């Protein structure tokens, strides 16, 4: 068998695999994907070592392997957990939508205000006994504002931007924050998020491994919905 015949044989046996890889890659690029979460900026909703499912069809349809939008049928809503490209460095981040286009967002001593309406917290539960906090006091609360409810975490004595003056969200952009309010690189620092930078909506934890405990599986988090 000469070189040409050998090359044709390799191509014939491999083209099916290549086609399958291309189809799967295209589907991941345009329809659905997953995102590894290496930090705790979304605690207690998402933990380090979670891998979240990203619905890329939640808001629009893009050309595979690009940010070119073909069609758009929905907009992110307040409270949605989204995956997006950071305007600071292009990294993919996971945060919660807090402010919609046209909203005015402000914060005073951890108290969040949306269009002048203050957020309300449930009675906090102390979670400082967890090893993650290295002796720091932390609280988990449920925050309710403008019709949304979600859990968040507050940590004592951690440098963070806990107050800022009112900011109006521009048209086509969003204000996002991490549920771990005192340890999150979000719109307080990186600015508003443009709609075209949004990859999709994070809908569930596919599976989870505890990085601090030899990557032990957290079976109780497998296939759990995010809210």
Residues with catalytic function? 41, 95
- Is residue 93 packed enough to be buried (19+ CB in 10 Å), middle (13-18) or exposed (0-12)? buried
Residues shown for the chain? 227
What are the C-alpha distances in Å from 127 to residues 141, 150, 220?
10, 17, 19
Q: How far apart are CA 71 and CA 197, in angstroms?
A: 15
Q: Is 74 exposed, middle or buried (0-12, 13-18, 19+ CB in 10 A)?
A: exposed
Residue 55 CA: distances (Å) to CA of 9, 33, 44, 62, 202: 39, 7, 21, 12, 6
What's 129's DSSP letter?
T
């Amino acid at each position: 068998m000469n070189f040409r015949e050998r090359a044709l044989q390799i191509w014939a046996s491999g083209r099916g695999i290549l086609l399958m890889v291309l189809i799967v890659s295209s589907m991941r690029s345009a329809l659905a994907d997953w995102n590894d979460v290496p930090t705790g900026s979304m605690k207690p909703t998402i933990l380090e070592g979670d891998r979240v499912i990203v619905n890329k069809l939640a808001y629009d349809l893009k050309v595979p392997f690009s940010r070119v939008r073909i069609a758009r049928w929905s907009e992110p809503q307040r409270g949605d957990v989204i995956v997006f490209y950071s305007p600071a460095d292009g990294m993919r981040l996971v945060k919660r939508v807090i402010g919609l286009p046209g909203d005015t967002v402000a914060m005073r001593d951890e108290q969040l205000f949306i269009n002048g309406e203050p957020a309300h917290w449930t009675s906090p539960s102390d979670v400082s006994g967890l090893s993650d906090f290295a002796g720091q006091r932390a609280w988990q609360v449920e925050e309710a504002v403008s019709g949304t409810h979600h859990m968040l975490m507050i940590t004592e004595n951690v440098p963070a931007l806990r107050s800022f003056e009112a900011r109006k969200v521009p048209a086509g952009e969003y204000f996002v924050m991490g549920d771990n309010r005192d340890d999150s690189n979000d719109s307080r620092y990186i600015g508003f998020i443009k709609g075209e930078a949004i990859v999709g909506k994070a809908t569930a934890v596919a599976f989870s491994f505890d990085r601090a405990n030899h990557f032990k599986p957290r079976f109780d988090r497998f296939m759990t919905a995010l809210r």
